[in-house]
Copies of this chain bind each other. A is one copy, B any other.
Amino acid sequence: MQSAVLKRAQPFDEAIEPRQARRRSLSDPVPRRLRLGQPLFHEGDRAQHVYQIGRGVMRLARMQTDGRRQVISFAFPGDVVGLPDNGRHTTECEAITECELLAHRFPGLAGADRNPDMQNFLMDAALQEIRRLQDHFLLIGRRLALERTAAFVALLLDRIAEPLGRYRVVRLAMNRTDIADYLGLTPETVSRSFTELRGRRILALDDANTVVVLDPARLRILAAGAMEA
């Protein structure tokens, strides 16, 4: 049964098991793997599929004419990427870790073959994406660098944290430049923000990509705009 794939923002490991792969028709999802750095699609590409992430992290970005880049979002397991506009992809999309995906034909076939579960799933994914993008605005609209960075870590803490002893750890798949382009800052400023957060004992950096959240409460207070936290 396909319903495992259709759950909102849930990984789908169980959906790519052999039984599933065998009885495949046009509208069945196709599993796919991406290596680190491999692009999934580019801005302007005709969109044939949307993809649900099973494992790994992807980066969606738009390029400016002058070479500057805006990272639109990072997509994690359960997320849907590739929702097009006017039949074309609107961003660059690249794997920043090894990834496993399910490719769903989009738009679904017309008429009788149209699967209402899939319709609901895709509408739900689109609506969730809208909310996420709105959330993102709060991150980059007129806030101090330290607040933005704290909010970013808090975001990852909610989405992809793993336990480590009495603390929780966030493994950053993205580098400082990716984070900077996501937050509307420079890599240097992001780095300084991390240093400051470390200085305040709100987090510890094992290495540059491994963030141990020491004080999630203070992190969230900072993220909400209280600089003195």
Using a CB–CB distance below 8 Å, which chain A residues touch chain B? 62, 64-66, 68, 70, 72, 83-86, 90-91, 114, 116, 119, 122-123, 126-131, 133-134, 136-138, 140-143, 181, 184-186, 224-226
Contacts and interface: CB of A to CB of B under 8 A. Distances in A.
Given A123-B126, A129-B130, A184-B142, A137 B83 contact: no
A221 to B, nearest CB: 10
24 contacts: A64-B138, A65-B224, A68-B142, A68-B225, A70-B142, A83-B127, A84-B127, A85-B130, A90-B131, A90-B134, A123-B123, A126-B127, A129-B130, A130-B130, A133-B133, A133-B134, A133-B137, A136-B137, A137-B137, A140-B140, A140-B141, A140-B184, A141-B184, A142-B181
**Residue in A66, A84, A130, A133 with the greatest tally of chain B CB atoms within 10 Å:** A130
**Residue in A64, A134, A136, A140 with the greatest tally of chain B CB atoms within 10 Å:** A134
B70 A137 contact: yes
Contacts of A140: 137, 140-141, 184
Nearest to A147: B66
A131 B82 CA distance: 11
